[in-house]
Amino acid sequence: MQVDTKLETLSERRALLGAVAVARQRVRAPEFEHRVTAWSRARGSPAGVLAGNSMVALQSNDVTLLQADMALQAYLQGVTSSLRYNEGDHLACLLSLRDPHVENIAESDSIGRLIQKSLRSPWDELVECHVRCVQCAANENFLRAFEEQQALIQSHVMFSSSSLRPTGQAQVLVKILQTQKEENWCLPLMYTACLEIRLLGIKADRQAKLRMKSYKPGELLEKSAESVMNCFRVCASDNRAATKDSKRVGMLHLVNQLFKIYYRVNTLHLCKPLIRAIDNTPFKDEFALSQQVTYRYFVGRKAVFDNDLKEANEYLSFAFNRCHPEARGNIRQILIYLIPVKMLLGYQPSAELLRKHELTKFAPICEAVRKGNVHRFQEELDSNEAYFYGLGVYLILERLRMVLYRNLFKRVYHILGTHQIPIEAFLTVLQLQNVEDIDLEETQCILANLVYQGKIKGYISLQHSKLVVSKQNAFPKLSTII
């Protein structure tokens, strides 16, 4: 390789630096250093070799540029290799914002030239979007990083400082998925891209709140959901390939990403069609167990909000029993909803379970419900209101009030030992527990609700002001009446 000493322009200088990086891989270190030193001397730059790492000491700016370009070239070689051998998992790592490579490629400014030279369309566009996204994220410009990640998946949306108006579009990953008819090796890449768009959406949403006066909170997260949904449609419509090669096996992963967004922006009604799509999938039990656990957790949570205790118990119990034992945070999150559901069904968590998963603030609530202690129950709810609201279960715990009344009235029934109980007896007990604004009519209303819900077998005789209960199983198990 002969060094041309007549290069003057910056572009020519940078082009030579790129050639230097390639040449270094082809020749022995001493010969490489000799050649670059000759060029450096001819240019009037300080020449020499840095001790320890054999890097030629050109001008400091040149060294930085050379290092950045060499890192980008090494990165592109990894991408090329992954594409050649259809290594979806490795390619997914190379297009993740949480992989170590992001620290090495954040400085290069030769993106377009090097990428277009190394990769064919449409992969060059996809990788260029990723590299630009990395650079924007490194500079904490999450709005622009979100834009680039959106371009990587499907739609390229430009933002102004005061509004969010789409000014252009580009299709990359979705186009790639659509062209791969009988193969699904790209699914890991799709998983990573959709995860990153959700995480970037959260950061961009926070940044937009600070920078844009007219910004509607959650708008960017909704846009990230649109990008994920575009991938979901491609997977759901893939009916041509065999199951092992079908993109439909990636549906559950995308549904879980959408669930996380919908719960965050409080649009749970959008979950219904996704649940229906998974339920109608013939191989729904063949999805990865980790994804099944996540799916069951979110569907179980929705069932809690819909007051469908049977489904909530089934799905949350599955998630709890199948969750990896080392995923302590996930187990705790499942228990936050499973414990109130179990209590509504008449089951009590053990003190050891609550202690192990740092949920001991549930213990006084559990004890109050078990004993029918209305005053203690209200006291614990009031004193820990912020805590339970933060967990998202305050209103669910409020539903335990009827279970508490049922347990209290059952104790009255056993004490009196008769199936005809004066309503005055229930009123007296409630007054002793300092229940606010309680009177005979309110007591009758509570009893009527318990009878209607099946928690008490019997009827109210208004003429005699008595509750008449069944002589057999007057207070059936709560788990039998869902």
Same domain, 216 and 235: yes
pLDDT above 50 (res 51): no
Domain range for 168 is 67-287
Residue whose C-alpha is closest to residue 194's, from 248, 252, 242: 252
Among 269, 287, 305, give the residue marking a domain's end: 287
The alpha carbon of residue 201 and the mean position of all alpha carbons in its chain are separated, in whole angstroms, by 11
Q: What is the DSSP string of 360-383?
A: GGGHHHHHHHHHT-HHHHHHHHHH
- Mean pLDDT, the chain, whole residue set: 86
Amino acid making up residue 126: L
More confident residue, 244 or 197: 197
pLDDT value of residue 241: 67
Measured CA to CA, the distance from residue 54 to residue 36 in angstroms comes to: 12
Q: Does 47 share its domain with 76?
A: no
Alpha carbon distances (Å) from 417 to 345, 420, 431, 469:
25, 9, 21, 11
Is residue 329 assigned to a domain?
Answer: no
The reply to whether 162 falls in a domain is yes
- Considering the domain architecture, whether residues 115 and 41 belong to the same structural domain is answered as no
The domain boundary, picked from 398, 433, 466, lies at 398
**Domain count within the chain:** 4
pTM of the model: 0.83
267-278: per-residue pLDDT in tens?
A: 999 999 999 999
pLDDT surpassing 80 at residue 169: no
173 and 196 housed in the same domain: yes
Domain assignment present for residue 296? The answer is no
In the listed set 346, 374, 398, which residue is the last one of a domain according to the structure?
398
If DSSP codes are grouped into helix, strand and coil, which group holds residue 217? coil
Helix (H) or strand (E) holding 293: helix 289-305
Q: Considering the domain boundaries, does residue 370 fall inside one?
A: yes
Distance CA 482, CA 477 (A): 10
Which helix (H) or strand (E) segment is 344 a member of?
helix 328-344
Rounded to 5°, the CA angle 271-273-275 comes to: 65
- The answer to whether 260 and 296 are in contact (CB under 8 A) is no
192 and 122 part of one domain: yes
**Half-sphere exposure of residue 226, counting CA atoms within 13 Å on the CB side?**
14
84 and 33 share one domain: no
Closest CA to 177 of 116, 254, 234, 102: 234
pLDDT at 65: 59
Do residues 26 and 137 share a domain? no
Say yes or no: 248 and 160 in one domain.
yes
Query: Is the same domain home to 79 and 123?
Result: yes
Cβ neighbors of 258 (< 8 A, separation 6 or more) are 225, 228, 229, 232, 270, 271, 274
Answer yes or no: is pLDDT of 20 > 90: no
Can you give the pLDDT at residue 185? 96
CATH number for the domain including 428?
A: 1.10.10.10
Residue 59 scores a pLDDT above 90? no
Q: What share of the chain is helix, strand, coil (3-state, %, to 5)?
A: 65, 5, 30
pLDDT over 90, % of the chain = 73
In a domain, 299, yes or no: no
pLDDT tens, residue by residue, 424-461: 999 999 999 999 889 999 999 999 999 999 999 999 99
In a domain, 155, yes or no: yes
Query: Do 273 and 366 belong to one domain?
Result: no
Mean pLDDT of 154-168: 42
Residues 373 and 415 in one domain: no
Say if residue 409's pLDDT is above 50. yes
For the chain, the straight-line distance linking the first and the last C-alpha, in angstroms and rounded, comes to 82
**DSSP-assigned states of every residue in 14-50:** HHHHHHHHHHHHHS-HHHHHHHHHHHHHHHT----B-
Q: Same structural domain for residues 111 and 240? A: yes
Residue 297 lies in a domain: no
**Is 293 within the bounds of a domain?**
no
